[in-house]
Structure 1
Amino acid sequence: MINILHIIHRYRGDYPLLNLQVRLDPRRFRTVICFMSGENDGKNQLDALGYKTYYLGLKGKNLRFSNVPLLLKLKRIIESENVQVVNCQQHRSTPIGVLAAMLARPKPAVLATLHGLGTAKTWRRRAFNWLLYRRLHRIIGISKGVSADVVASNWGLSEERTVTIQNGLEYDRFPAALEKNAARSRFAPGQADGFWFGTMGRLSEVKNHRNLILGFAHMAERFPAANLLIAGEGELRPELEGLIAAKGLTERVHLLGFRRDIPEFLKALDAFLLPSLREGLPLALLEAMASGLPVIASRVGGIPEVFGDAQIGLLVSPESPEEIGEALAEVAGSSAQRLQSWGQAARRRAVEDFSAARMIAAYEQVYTDAALSLRRQGPGDPTSGL
């Protein structure tokens, strides 16, 4: 039995992707999860599924690798749970997990799972990472784009130290059984006609809603019945509301706020948009593809590898509202046959190549290799497992 500890910066509520990542073969693996900050809201499915979960409840300012009491708490968890493999989720958890593992006896192997791009923008961060990453058994990138970015932006890091495990999901909820016009009546009553574009994500700079709205305005005169639905909430909402009004699009661009009915939202659309400035491997894109939607998405990060060679839509430069607008116009003007072909290919691509089963099997292999690395190292090795 291999005991695995996930160290996570903060509990922000139930996270379906993590719930899938820990669903390993129970005959071979036992998983423990530790959230260093955030309050237990009683809604975490990991608890309901019987996983041992620690909520340390620390304040954000105390999440530092110099916090000795925190390191000692994690050390005690590692030792009491007989942990052989530590997986530090995202960069902020990694130095804390590495130091806690160094204090533990015996020492576990340590992995870091990185989800985003641009984690080493300054020379100070690169120098820090140069010291930190030497202590890791492997760095896991959730897309080939993330893995390539980690290698390219850090000093002396070989490709052999990284492994890519692409995100995967279960797609039973997609597409929703609801009829399209019934779905549309939920989000923009009385406007069932025309071509419907949609996107979902936090209203923040990185999601690039500003250029999306400008691109939609660019194509709006050619397609006067088109609608753009934006699901999500965030700090840019007032600015985006002002931009929509300034472009005369208040009847055609709909800010829906935070939504939980994502399958129904996607059912209402004719095409899905993801114009982000940066992405690792976006789950929203996979969900839209599983719903059978053609997609228009940015040519950044892990998005092109999600497309692969499949004909599922169009890739655009996120910096160009004009290019986004032309892509919207091309898709809105496409034949029903072309859109159907794209949508069918998108669903096949998501279900066959980005499944939860494939992702879980890949994590099981990495954890097995990490545990075997401990056995190959003698008990007297001071860096055993690190």
Structure 2
Amino acid sequence: MRVIQLITGLGGGGAENLVYNLTKMNLQDKDVEFSVVYMTDKDKLKPRFEEMGVAPVSLGITSKGSFVSGLKKYYRILKNNKGAVVHAHLFHTLLISCLMQPLVPHKVVFTLHSDFVKKRARRYILFFTRFLRSADVIFSAKSKQWYQKSDAVVIANGIDLSQYNHAHNKPEVFSCLFLGRLEEPKNPMYLVELVNKLKDKHKFKIVVVGEGNMRQPLEELIAKESLQDYFEFLGFRQDIPQIMANVSCLITPSLWEGMPISLLEAGACGVPILTTPVGSIPIFLNNETAYLTELPDFHLSLQHIIENYNEALDKAAKFKNEVFEKFDINKCYQNYKAMYYKVIK
């Protein structure tokens, strides 16, 4: 069986890392053959694929002018891989798969990677294209939305636990890690408000790992508020386990989410987690294993963690046990493999 992992780009977000880890697992599987196709020219993760002998193919869609040529390239890929299952990740990949259906009929598995779609038009597109999809993947039963297939398959995310064997070191200065795309769903601009509310109470810093279109506005706001000493920008990084091992906690003030890989990464490292209770997060985390707090009280929870860090470490230890028990990428891969076989029957 052949499976085309189709994703918007290889920019290093949670969806991209899931595709990477699934592909890595697939190299040990003689029954299923993966190929990786991405729409745009964002390719920060491409070298990691190439290091393990996988050559991702870009459709080169970077503007309206290159859209048609990208579709033609995708058409040729589908023609050369007749019978393959296309696993479309994120909204835009679904659009081009739907456009290709009349020309090259194929099975489509779709993962939205979010429990919330902001634009109404997109929600209706998802609803009216349900018949073109063989399966929808969601992260928890409670996260299913009206625009998804009624028999959506629940598959939780997973991570390569063998990479998370670093001892957790308590840094000299309390360090809060913000890990993710610097874009609206992740709510990075809130970090300035957070610092302003706590800077007179505690000594701490925020380590920002990730890139996105809100990095420049964020840095400009930090400069305007004269808060440069409270922030450290590391950009896009691939050594997340090592970074996790040297921070005090993970903060996730997201406006909406699916099931963030970063929470599993923090859990695997025994790092305390402070997050908003959005998306599927409350399905996998609770107040016994993390701090789930709405934005108005987010700063109070961070203050509590700083002042009661041993309590936070105890919660983190409980979640670490759960991560190693439930969220191994091997289990995740086997669940996807079973679903791929099911849709081609």
Smaller-chain TM-score bracket: 0.7 to 0.9
- 8 A Cα contact 1:201 1:233, kept in partner: yes
Once the two structures are superposed, the pairs formed by residues 37-116 of structure 1 within 5 Å of their partners are 37-38=40-41, 43-51=46-54, 53-62=56-65, 67=68, 70-104=70-104, 107-116=105-114
* Deviation readout 1:163-185 (Å, 9 max, x if unpaired): 122221113332535x837xx4x
- 8 A Cα contact 1:271 1:295, kept in partner: yes
Matched residue, 2:316? 343
CA RMSD of aligned residues (A): 3.1
Of residues 157, 164, 177 in structure 2, which corresponds to 1:174? Answer: 164
**1:55 and 1:339, CA in 2 relative to 1: closer, same or farther beyond 3 A?**
closer
CA distance in 2, matches of 1:370, 1:205: 34
Scaled by the length of structure 2, what TM-score is found? 0.84
- 8 A Cα contact 2:276 2:292, kept in partner: yes
- 8 A Cα contact 2:10 2:45, kept in partner: no
- 8 A Cα contact 2:3 2:84, kept in partner: yes
Matched residue, 1:20? 21
Of residues 236, 239, 249 in structure 2, which corresponds to 1:271? Answer: 249
**1:60 and 1:118, CA in 2 relative to 1: closer, same or farther beyond 3 A?**
farther
Paired residue secondary structure (2:102) = helix
- 8 A Cα contact 2:40 2:58, kept in partner: yes
**1:249 and 1:365, CA in 2 relative to 1: closer, same or farther beyond 3 A?**
same
Matched residue, 1:325? 299
Q: Kindly provide the amino acid, as one letter, of the partner of residue 159 in structure 1.
A: S
Matched residue, 2:176? 197
Scaled by the length of structure 1, what TM-score is found? 0.76
CA distance in 2, matches of 1:359, 1:79: 29
Q: By how many angstroms is 1:42 displaced? A: 9.8
Structure 1 stretches of 5 or more lacking a match? Answer: 185-191, 373-386
Structure 2 stretches of 5 or more lacking a match? Answer: none
CA distance in 2, matches of 1:63, 1:125: 22
Q: Kindly provide the amino acid, as one letter, of the partner of residue 125 in structure 2.
A: F
Matched residue, 1:379? none
**1:241 and 1:113, CA in 2 relative to 1: closer, same or farther beyond 3 A?**
closer
- 8 A Cα contact 2:8 2:38, kept in partner: yes
CA distance in 1, matches of 2:254, 2:9: 24
In our comparison, the structure showing a higher alpha carbon Rg is: 1
Q: By how many angstroms is 1:92 displaced? A: 0.7
Q: Kindly provide the amino acid, as one letter, of the partner of residue 326 in structure 2.
A: D
Q: By how many angstroms is 1:294 displaced? A: 1.2
User: How many residues were matched structurally?
Assistant: 340
Paired residue secondary structure (1:312) = coil
Matched residue, 1:258? 235
Once the two structures are superposed, the pairs formed by residues 132-147 of structure 1 within 5 Å of their partners are 132-141=129-138, 143-144=139-140, 147=143
Q: Which moved more, 1:281-290 or 1:261-270?
A: 261-270
Matched residue, 1:129? 126
CA distance in 1, matches of 2:256, 2:132: 28
